[in-house]
Amino acid sequence: MKNNRKKYLVTFLFLGMILFTSINVIAVDPTLESFSIDPEEPAPLSDITVTADIGGEGVTAVIVHIKECNKAQGLCFSQQSGTMTELETGKFQAQFTLKEDKADYIQYYFDITINGEETRLDETWTIDLLVDSNNNTSNGDNGTPGFELIILIIAIGVGFILFRKKRL
Amino acid sequence: MIEKKGSTLVIIILIFLLSLMSGCTDSEENNDGEDFEFTLLDGTIKHLSDYRGKVIILDMWATWCGPCAYQMQELRNIYDAYDRNDLEIISLNVDPRENSQIVNDFIEAFKNQYGIELDWIFGQDDGSVWEEYKMVSGGIPTLYMFDQKGRIHFSHEGVAFFSEIPQGLPDDSVILKPKIDELI
């Protein structure tokens, strides 16, 4: 009788241990193990390839969101989102074309679907874009052309009057 | 000679009258002010003209935009500094992919993260407001300030501050307080 009790207790503990271990395996949180952008320092309006290694069981979909912003102006222009293609287990890839010539950095973050449930990874990553320092995109003069032309016309007019006066 | 002088005088008078008339038309248009339609987060349809008599700050934003979140903190300061009879803030989400649930979640998360309550007017744009009021770069946040008659008093693309420029930011950053005080 005592032996039977002991056997039951050991079996119960053993089953409990197995169950506990399996729960732990199912509950593994998704993690972004590595991430890369090609090219590493993209330029505005360029094509980029985003590759991510996602750890964790049951990952069925990964969506990457990329926003294009400008630090100096404190502006964001657009956000693109794309479902990443699974190249091999846990390795996902997506391609984007950056849309904004005035952006000087991009930020990206991920939504991961595990067993049908979507989770947003807490972290947001930032990459500076390769901006041509000579390319002044926020040139305020662009909106008001013609002032130079007016000055030129006035100068020609004054010159013409002076020229005629001298001839007379 | 007298005839010529007379006709010149008539032309001058006509030009003067025409300019006066055009001036009248302009001022009538200005009195009408701007108007647009938007949807509150609870689904109620509202118009800018519903808020005539107050200075309105229109803030066009989206939940994913970092600078827009920073702008919210400045808007909080503005909202606290003025009476509700004088000033209202309308924050319109201009990303058509984001619904009112996403905006409500953002407001909740903002409160939890920063302890700042975003309790002014929040709404959704169906694209028409953004189409009409987006600026050259098409970036957000984009701010407009309308006077009590709905006329555009000021507009700006990018973060603008209430009364002080935080350390490390450019000296030519926009300060909103003097522009609001001009109207109130």
| Lookup: tokens for B110 | 């903002």
pLDDT one-digit tens code per residue, A135-154 = 543 333 343 445 455 666 77
Question: Looking at the whole model, is its pTM more than 0.80?
Answer: no
Q: Phi, psi (5° rounding) for residue A149?
A: -65, -40
Q: Does A59 map to a domain?
A: yes
Contact yes or no for B138 and A65 at CB 8 A: no
Domain positions in chain B are: 1-32, 33-181
Range(s) of the domain holding residue A117: 2-134
Rounded Cα–Cα distance for residues B88 and B120 (Å): 7
Q: Supply the pLDDT for residue B151.
A: 98
Residue with tokens 């010149």: B8
DSSP state of B161: B
In a domain, A46, yes or no: yes
- Has residue A85 been placed in a domain? yes
Give me the pLDDT at residue A144, please. Answer: 41
Contact A79 B67 (CB under 8 A): no
Kindly determine whether residue B158 and residue A76, on different chains, have CB atoms separated by under 8 Å: no
Give percent of chain B with pLDDT exceeding 90. Answer: 77
CB contact under 8 A, B64 and A65: yes
Q: Give CA–CA dist A55/A39, Å, rounded.
A: 24
Fill in the DSSP letter of residue B138.
-
Strand partners, B161: B175
CATH number of the domain residue A22 falls in: 2.60.40.10
Mean pLDDT of A64-79: 92
**Averaged confidence pLDDT in chain B:** 89
Q: Give me the pLDDT at residue A13, please.
A: 56
Kindly report the nearest CA distance between residue B138 and chain A, in angstroms: 6
Q: How far is CA B49 from the centre of its chain?
A: 12
Closest Cα in chain B, distance from residue A43 (Å)? 18
pLDDT higher than 50, residue B25: no
CB contact under 8 A, A75 and B139: yes
Give the span between the Cα atoms of A76 and A106, in whole angstroms: 9
Which residue among A72, A76, A138 places its CB closest to the CB of B140? A76
CA distance B181 to B121: 21
**CATH code for the part of the protein at B33-181:** 3.40.30.10
CA distance B175 to B163: 6
- How far apart are alpha carbons B151 and B32 in whole angstroms? 8
**Cβ-proximal residues to B143 (8 Å cutoff; 6+ apart), any chain:** B57, B58, B59, B60, B71, B154, B155, B156, B157, B160, B176
Spatial separation of the C-alpha atoms in residues B31 and B181, rounded to whole Å: 21
Contact call for A76 and B68, based on CB within 8 A: yes
Q: Is residue B87 within a helix (H) or strand (E), and if so which, with residue range?
A: strand B87-93
Task: Provide the token pair at B39.
Answer: 């949807």
Count of alpha carbons within 13 angstroms of residue A131, beta-carbon side: 21
Q: CA of B158, closest CA in chain A: separation in Å?
A: 5
**pLDDT band at B148, cuts 50/70/90?**
very high
For B50-105, write each residue's pLDDT tens digit: 999 999 999 999 999 999 999 999 999 999 999 999 999 999 999 999 999 999 99
> Which residues in B have their CB inside 8 Å of a CB on A?
62, 64-68, 70-71, 95, 97, 136-141, 157-159, 170
Q: Under a CB-based contact definition with an 8 Å cutoff, are residues A45 and B41 in contact?
A: no
Provide the pLDDT confidence category of residue A164 given band limits of 50, 70 and 90.
confident
E-strand stretches of chain A: 31-38, 47-55, 59-70, 75-83, 85-88, 91-97, 105-114, 117-120, 125-128
**Each residue of B107-130: pLDDT tens digit?**
999 999 999 999 999 999 999 999
Identify whether A54 is part of a domain: yes
Domains contained in chain A, number: 1
Distance CA A34, CA B179 (A): 48
The rounded mean pLDDT for chain A is 78
Global ipTM: 0.72
Contact between chains at A75 and B136 (C-beta distance less than 8 A): no
A79: chain B residues, CB-CB within 8 Å: 62, 64-65, 95
Chain A with chain B: Cβ pairs closer than 8 A: 52
- Side-by-side strand order, sheet with B121-124: B45-47, B37-40, B121-124, B87-93, B55-61, B142-146, B152-157
